[in-house]
Structure 1
Amino acid sequence: MSQRQLQANEIQSLLNHLEFGIGNGYIERRGVYLEIEGYAIRIKPYPTDKIRPSLTAKKGLFDLLMTIFPLERDSAELSDIELELRPQNTANKFTAKTNKRGQIWFREVPAGENYRIQVKTPLVVKPLFWIKAFFHQLLKNVSAYGTLIPQWIGSKALAWKVSLAVPAVLVLAVSLTFVFWPSENKIDTTFQTIYANKTDEMAEELRDVQFSWEAADDANVFAFSQGASASAEAAKAFGAGLWTARESLLETRDITLPTPLLPPTPEDSWLKTDWAAYFDLGRWTLLLWTASEFPDEMAKSFWDEQRAIFDDFNATFEARLATDNEAKKVRHQLNS
């Protein structure tokens, strides 16, 4: 069944009709977010007549999918939380409880109303795998239009605009086959696991991830050390890792990296450079972001394996501290 998500201007229109009773609201390309005392509620609106066409067309009504996330690493998974959506001007109200994924559907919610959202039951918690909460931190680092901005690159991350429609003049013939990585390591295994468990919903989420970047002369690109060529290479390697992981999961074949993401000549792969660790970190970030969006698709052993990768990255960047100014920032963000 096709589900058309609202565009940014439509989400803004919806937000104008919602009065949030608690927390702060902000808009992102994939929905509206509320932050409430260490938790986030994501609201993804869908026009009812678009996602359930078998019903009598009911224009002006929305199905709202709400998902609750813990934002802190030591938080716990939410379950059986009752939320109430109450119009300001009528006695009607909508109530529902979270499912095991922390999701709630509010069906056939009229537009043009001012609503208050309230948590009606205490935040019931269960033990949460450490890595799931860690990657939900990425919710705090998503820009207004869906840019994936991992915390360790800063608020002005990814200073390019990636598109499959990159003009040919900006692309060099460095062809990549994305479905399988060129080497076998723990990150490759992570990719294989996510790829094997990929769903249509997961692919839709990945297509919503866009990498936008700023002008090349921006002094704060990536929040790496300003003006240092080494930091520019680290930033490019990380961005190339993000790009490669997304395109691999989407089964995009034989694409060329955009010129700003190419490794320094004469190398044809970031894995052959001094910045291979940043490339791998970019790959892992995108993969773990994907897995954390769909944690129920992954076995417990998967998360145990990610802990081992996390420890490997910590050791790798610790070993670079004496010679790499950016390694200190990466380790700080990995352990913050």
Structure 2
Amino acid sequence: MNGILLALYLFSRRSHRLANTLLGALLLAIGFRTAKSTFYYFNPDLAPVFLQLGLSACLLIGPLTYLYVHCYLADLAQRPPDKYWHGHLLVGCLLITMGVVFPYIDHASTRYYVICGIHAYWFLYLLLAGKQLWMSRALLAAEDRRRSLLLLSVYFGSFLILLAYVSTPFTSYIVGALSFTFSIHITILSYLLQNEVVADPEKKEKYQNRKLAQKDAIALLESLNKMMHEQQLYLNPMLSLAMLAKKMGSLQTTISQVINENSGKSFNAYINEFRIEYAKDLLVQESHLNMELVAERSGFNSDSTFFAAFKKITGQTPASYRAAFAAKPTSPPAAQDCQVSI
């Protein structure tokens, strides 16, 4: 019930819709697995079809954990998620369909190995999610710890549930359900803490009262522009407002205020202008580079984002810009008059 209620709450949120939807789906999958465990604990004669459906839910828990981590980190880095993220869920659904067509729960000789394979599949996705967390540790360190609490609690909660089910021969079968209850309450607590920080009127008023004077805001923007030119921070595709504020030694709200009010641009538009200027030089000076490499070297995470930003800022496509600045073919030199002496 906790999982269902929290999933409905996540589905209704507007911010970070994809990440919230994936987290809600993850809670439902874990809840389905836990419900089966609870019924089986009190009724060992449960129909085999329910046992198989409960185990099949594990084929979605791993991919959903990984996709939630992936999309959450993509939101923090202000980049689109992997365009093939649906494939992870399709593979899990395909495996579940194969289990329905060829029920493995009725075959005692292979049941143990199938269960081990399902848990290994779950563990593989936890390793992939852990790798993404490790590669994004700098991004997480620059963010508010309360925001990272939800992400880490979900990841380690999924890890805890898997560990509980794997260790049931040494403990009790109901431990999985208990660990789920513990992890879901930790997740709820982290959400409440996060919402309390965002909704705290005193803190909001404190930041509003720190509005910079126009002279100080212009000076800060000039310092920011200088640092962007000298250090080329925009080439980092993981650059976020929090990382930029940390570099400047200022609050995120201050940097956002300075950019919005004194340049008339959003943070993304401000960063993309630097990236597009860098890309324009690459298009002309490095004519052998294809568009994918130009986008990557300019700090963009995807080709589509690069093309859209380039078109919006310059009014033309990268290819047309390169063609306009390409060296025009030189006409052959005029034939020189030859005077023959006799």
TM over 0.5: no
Shorter-normalised TM-score: what interval? Answer: under 0.3
Name the structure with the higher helix share.
2
Name the structure with the higher strand share.
1
Q: Which has the larger radius of gyration?
A: 2
Q: When the two structures are superposed, what TM-score results if normalisation uses the length of structure 1?
A: 0.25
Q: When the two structures are superposed, what TM-score results if normalisation uses the length of structure 2?
A: 0.25
